[in-house]
Each structure stands twice: as C-alpha cells, then as structure tokens.
Chain A
Amino acid sequence: MIAFERRESAGWIAQAIAYLLAIAAGLLASVVLITITGADVADGLGALWQGAFGDAEAIGQSLAAAIPLVFTGLATVVAFRAGIWNIGQEGQVFAGAMAGYWMSLQLAGAPAIVAVPAVVLASVAGGAAVAALCAVLKTRFDVNEIISTMMLNYIIVYLLSYLLAGGPWIEAGSTAYHQTPLIADTFRLPELFGLHLGAPLALLATAAVALVIGRTPLGFELRGLGFNPVALRYKGVRVATTIVMAMAISGALSALAGVSEVFGINFRLRAEVLNGLGYTGIIVGMIGALNPWGTLVAALAFGAMANGALYMSVLTDVPSALVPAMQGILLLFVLGAAVLTRYRLRFGRKDGRHG
C-alpha cells in the first residue's frame, strides 16, 4: 500500500529546491528528446531562454502571455480554497469577454474615460453572474458544481460560436470569418510601459485576493469552507451565501482574463484567442499551491515557458511537435514537485492516526 499523507509544511527552502530540481529534471528529459530527434540542444535551450527572459522585448511578451493566466489562476485559488470545484473558468473567461463586448456595442461612441471602465465592469458582472448561477444551482438544488460549470463552459463557448457564425456579431464583408469587427480605440485598455492595463490589474488582483483570503472575514469563511463546512454552519456562517460569493469572485477574476485578451491585445472578440486560458488557469492555480502570490509566480513561469517555447519553435530546428511535448514534460515534473512538497509518500500499511 502506498498512501499520501499531508505534510504540515515543507518550508520555503525545501520547496524552492524541489521546484528547481523538478525544472532541472524536466529540462534533462527535454534534452534527451531533442537529442533523439537530432536537433541542436544548445540552440534549442538557448532559444527557450531567449524567449523566456532573453531581452526586454521577450520579457514583455512573457508578461503579456502571463496576464490572463494570473486572472484565471486566481479564479482557481478563490474557488478551490473554498472547496468549490469550479472548473468553469473557461466559460467564465468567454462570458466576461462577451459581456464586455456587448457593453462596447451599447456604448458605441462613448469617450474612453467612460468606455473602458464600463467594459471592465460589464465583463466582471458577466463572469460573476455565470459562476454565481452554478453556485446557486449547487446550494439550492444540490447540483454538483463540477458538472454544472463544465456544462456551462460548452454552452457559453457555443453561444459565442453562434453569435460569430453568421450571428449578429459577425464582421460584415464577403470574406467574413468567426470574429467581430475591430473594437474602437476608445474601448481598448490603455497601455502603460508597453503593457496594457491588464498588467497592473493582474498585480492588483493578486494583492486583493491575498488580502481578502488572508485578512478579511469573508476570506476566513472561504478558507473554513474549504476545510470543514459543518463546523462553519455550527458557528453561524451562512454557508450558501459564502459559496455564492466565492463563485462570483472566481467568475469575476476569470472574466478579467477575457477582457485583457480582447480589449488589451487582440481588439476583436474571437474564440481562438480565449481558448484554453481557463483550463490552463486551473493548472496555474494548482502549481501556485492555491496561494495568490504563488499563483502569480506560476503564471509568470507559464508565460515565460510559452514564449520560450514559441522562440524555440521559430528559431531552431527542434521539431515543432516536440515543443508542446517538452512543455508537458516540464509541467509534469513541476506538478510532481508541487504534490511532494505538500504530501509525503508513505509505504506500508495505512495508519489510522492522523497528524
């Protein structure tokens, strides 16, 4: 028998060493892969580094890739810390982007000072509403949130697909495709130091989530909910309300990922630029140990890895099919390290005692 046992805490240095070893092991495995395909290892790893942190431009690109993942990662943190298995980040990203786009249509011609906040607020409201709907289904009708959030992902993604495939939002023209027209300048997130407004928002969101979880009564209840909802009920916490709050916050955070991608970078609403942000956010949150600052670091690492992988596939002879494989291997090792820093493996008979 092999059993997993929770550790009290592995300590910062031990955790850092575990993650570094995991990255080293992942790179080693990647080197083996690259060697097998006959590509130049030094070239490949060099490009990876270059893309991740090579120069100011690469760092900017890595950061840009990280921004939406910070939001969806934080969305995961808030829900999972409360013991709510929200896997609807994907749909909530879409819902946020769609609500924001809808608002931009309503306010056509508005000045930026009105337009940008209105779009952000509408989108946050859209993401929060979709997530809160699943929370109400859970608290009122006992519908498992994994199922409801997952199903809603499909519904929302298909709704956008309808709106863009000959539906009311499609761009006019004889060669129209699944995308809206370009979004007017006034609705675009302003740029600061070469990064759009999403970057400071992501930092702010991280600090806010850390503050809410660690320092407020609501965060106290969220954490308690994740550990033992029964004891909370015995002490008068309105568990259903707390679940709805947690989901609404989680959905709002995911929505910000949609806003930053559509209104900060692409300036068109289309499914392709949103795909996968939600699901990746779940992994980012988990690797960040469901800690807001840890999630920020994990998102930055993911952004760097994605950009490094892009550089590698563009600049080197490493077969392009190998790049996602390498990403997967690195991820697997890092996830392994994350598990091992929080649990210890115990061989032999399971002991009945805890702690």
Chain B
Amino acid sequence: MQRQPVLSVRGLTKTFGPVRANDAVSFDVGAGELVCLFGENGAGKSTLSACLAGLHSPDGGEIVLNGEPVRFSTAADAIVAGIALVHQHFLLVDDFTVLENIVLGHERGLFVNYRAAEKKLRALCRRYGISVRPDARVGDLTVGERQWVELLKALYHEAAVLILDEPTATLDLQESRKLFRIIDELKTAGVALVLISHSLAEVMRSDRVVVLRQGRVVGERATSETTPQELTRLMIGREVERKHRGSSRPGRPCLDVEHVTIRRPGGAPILDDISFSVAEGEIFGLAGVAGNGQKPLMEAIAGVLPFSSGRVLIDGELLADLDVHGIQKLGVGHIPEDRLSEGLVGDFSIAENIALGSHRDVFADGHFLNRGAIRVAAAVAIADYQIAAPSAETRARALSGGNAQRVVLARELAAASRVLLANQPTRGLDVGVIEYIHDRLIEKRAAGCAVVLASSELEDLLNLSDRIGVMFQGRLMGIVDARSTSIEEIGLMMAGQKREAA
C-alpha cells in the first residue's frame, strides 16, 4: 500500500451509553481495493459503516478521505463527499418510484431534471446488467430488486468509496454472482470498496480482511495469506470452556422437520429445505449468526409463520391445518426471541400473561374466564419460577428482564409437554438468570421433552446441546455432535462453509 489510501479510518470510537460499539478502530482502503469487515453480530461492523456514511457521528477519531479529514453531519454530506452506503435495511421510500428514490435528497436547485436523471439511470442499468424499471414504485419491488435499487443509488452518485453492508443477504445465488461481477468492474474502475459480510465465501474474495470483535480490530490479514480457519478463530477469539452437562439418553424421534421451505418473491428463500429430527430427551442446538433463519424456523414449527413447502410432524402427527393454538395443544411450548414484544403483553398482569394462549380452554369456564384458576396458576408460577414481583397483578412491563423471561418460561414450559422451542432464551440476562434457565431446559430434557435451542452463545450451545445444527442464509449447513465438534467447525459453517468442505 504505497499509494495514498482513498479512505483512512483513524482511531474511530463510537459509544452508545455504556456500550463501546467501536473502540479506536483504524484501517485503510485503497483505490480499486476490496476490504472486508468480518465479525460476529454485535462486533461493531454496522455501527462503523453508519459512521462512515454520515448516519452516526463518531465520538472520537477521524475519517480521512483522499488525505483530507472529513466530518459528516448527514448522509447527504457523505454522498456529496463521495462515500455511499448500500444499506442492509433499505432506506427507500415505498411510495416513490425507483428514479425518485435515487435522486431523493440530491436535487440541486428547485427543479429536478428527471429526463436527464432517467437517461443516466438507464445507462447504468445497461452497463451493469441490472434490470429494474426506473418508473416502478419501490413498494411494488421484491426484496432482491430493492437491493439493486440501493446499489444503483450508490452507482448513480459515482461514489469514490462504496460500502456494502451484507449485500447478499437477500439475493439468491445467481444474483450474488452478478453482484460480485459488478464489484470486480468497480474495482477495475478504481472505486474503494468496503464489504461487510459474515460469509466466508465472500470474505475470501476480498483483498484484505479486517476482523472486528466487540468493537475492536483484532486482526488484519491479506486475504491471500490467511485461511478461513484463522479468520474464524479471530472472529470468535476465545477458548470455549467445555463442560458438557449431563448425558442424555435420547428416546424415539419426537419432532420431525422435513424439507421446510419459506420462499420470498424475488429474493433468496428465508428457509431453504430444512430437515432435521429431534428425539425425546434431546436438546437440539441451532447455531448461526443472528438473522440466518433461526427465528423463522422456530416460528414455522410453532405455527406462527406459514411455510411454502415441506412438513412438520410431532410424534408422527402432521401439523398441517393446525394453527398456533392447535400446535400448542399438542404439547409445544415456544419461547420467542423478543420476550417483550413477542412473548408478553406488557400491560397485562403476570396472571394474565400466564393465561394468554390458554384463555379459551384451560383458563375458561363456559363463556367466562376462570379467574380462580388463573390466580392459582399465577401463584404457582410465581412460586415455582421465583418471579420477583409484588403480586400476580403486577404489570409485565414493570418487571426486570429476568423476571419477565421467567413469566414466559413459566407459561411455555407448562405448555411444552412434548416439544420446547427456545429462541435466544437467555439473551440480555445476567449470569444468575442464565444459569437458572439452563437448569430448567435440562430439566425439561430429562422429562422427555424434545428441545430446540437457538442461541448466539456458542459456548452455551456446546455445553447444553446433544446435537447442533448450523444455519447460514436460511439453510442448514450441517448437523454435528456437540461433544465431538469444535468451535472452529461450527464457526466455519456459520460463515457459509458446508460441513463436507470443511
């Protein structure tokens, strides 16, 4: 890197309250270079890209563009300076056309020369082989097409630095290839590119990799001089304490998931042909970077999310035609990912939250609620699950995170006589509560329940699970035995490497 870098980040720091999302991050990108930012969810990649694109203002450090320090107060400033971000969560106006979205915020003077803009846009589409109609309403486009609009927006403004935040997450394989062809063309044209990805296949196509962990740069490697294994180690960055808990004696198969697929028009499938089976008395762990299909998979099994094809069976009984309530009555408990928005009604009391879902059968008496039964159930739950609250009438929103999760646990473990689906059950909780929840999950396994546990804590998965399935972009990359696998093996699969290839 003898030439002056186009973009140079020097000691960039960004904090949100007590959290240091970026801690003295430094790296360079040269013209025609593709640098990859690699790291787990929450490592600080997206915050970093938002700072570069003017969406956040950093608390410390500087951004140097072509040798000049720059400060952006808005995203428009960044675009004018020549930094464009292709955002992971689309920042598009649904009711505007593609063309309007692209010129939005960059009109000069009072009038927009739409004719000239459209001509330029059509030329771009031809040059890069992107087929999006400029006059299509963005709200009518598929997710995949929207991703192209985001990219076109950046290309239209002829950015010198292009940041791509997980651009392939919504694209199917063919379109991902097209994207990388475009990236190659842009490199040839001398654009400095930053790619945020946790897909190793994509990471390995970059020129250099900057590995982030907990907001810090923990390593920088020329891609040609490193291996996926080394990068995974850097990303995870710690030795896992292995203390596998209890030996399970799995019984006969209880939960069967067969070829479950959720398609999405014009984009990569949300779930792509998922098949696995969980036995009685088994904990099946689901590993994967957040957003790779764990949540839709859990919801598909629980009946919350309809799926396009495939089937789910419990004890050999097909779940087709059953709704959430019917599935629950078969003995399925579901601890959703977000306890406050999905698991609980914040303005309901503890007692009402305990009754929710069974209020038409267990807790109903003819046409009325059986308030006596609800009171008793709530009292039992508060005692059994050590919920710290003044009374069963306390509103759920007044509870601490741990106590709120205990309410969800009390309700769902009671429902889960056959299958328990636990999605991130310990997220954001303190150690004591985490221990408590783990104990409860193991109890459930001992009682013969088939448990599916998704967690972003690899350590927990390794210690609690009997087998672990690893998800990547809606696919199940492989299933491994928790006792014999290694964190590297799982890490590689999480980054999109098939087990056979590893």
Task: From A224, A231, A236, give the contact of B328 (CB < 8 A).
Answer: A236
Q: Contacts A217-B364, A234-B334, A236-B323 given: A355-B371 contact, CB under 8 Å?
A: no
Q: Is the CB of A236 within 8 A of B357?
A: yes
How far is A295 from B473 in the complex, measured between Cα atoms in Å? 53
How far is A236 from B336 in the complex, measured between Cα atoms in Å? 13
Most chain A Cβ neighbours within 10 Å, of B304, B345, B347, B369: B345
Q: Is the CB of B334 within 8 A of A228?
A: no
B352 within 8 A of A: yes
Chain B neighbourhood of A224, CB < 8 A: 345, 348, 352, 356
B360 within 8 A of A: yes
Interface residue SS majority, chain B? mixed
Q: Is the CB of B356 within 8 A of A231?
A: yes
Q: Is the CB of A8 within 8 A of B395?
A: yes
Task: From B326, B355, B369, give the contact of A216 (CB < 8 A).
Answer: B369
Q: Is the CB of A234 within 8 A of B342?
A: yes
Q: Is the CB of A233 within 8 A of B304?
A: yes
B137 within 8 A of A: no
Q: Is the CB of A231 within 8 A of B371?
A: no
Residue interface bits A195-238, CB-to-B below 8 A is 1, else 0? 00000000000000000000111001101100110111111111
Q: Is the CB of A231 within 8 A of B341?
A: yes
Q: Is the CB of A234 within 8 A of B343?
A: yes
A354 within 8 A of B: yes
Residue interface bits B358-370, CB-to-A below 8 A is 1, else 0? 0110001001110
Interface size in chain A (residues, C-beta < 8 A): 22
| B322 to chain A: closest residue by CB | A236
Most chain B Cβ neighbours within 10 Å, of A224, A232, A236, A238: A236
B324 within 8 A of A: yes
Chain A neighbourhood of B357, CB < 8 A: 235-237
How far is A221 from B346 in the complex, measured between Cα atoms in Å? 14
Q: How far is the CB of B264 from chain A (nearest CB, A)?
A: 19
Q: Is the CB of B342 within 8 A of A230?
A: yes
Q: Contacts A216-B368, A220-B355 given: A231-B345 contact, CB under 8 Å?
A: yes
Q: How far is the CB of A42 from chain B (nearest CB, A)?
A: 47
B398 within 8 A of A: yes
Interface residues of B (CB under 8 A from A): 17, 302-304, 323-328, 334, 336, 341-348, 352, 355-357, 359-360, 364, 367-369, 371, 395, 397-398
23 inter-chain pairs at a CB distance below 8 angstroms, sorted by A residue, are: A8-B398, A217-B360, A220-B352, A221-B359, A227-B345, A227-B347, A227-B348, A228-B344, A228-B345, A228-B346, A231-B343, A231-B356, A233-B304, A233-B324, A234-B302, A234-B336, A235-B356, A236-B324, A236-B327, A236-B328, A238-B323, A355-B397, A355-B398
Interface residues of A (CB under 8 A from B): 8, 215-217, 220-221, 223-224, 227-228, 230-238, 352, 354-355
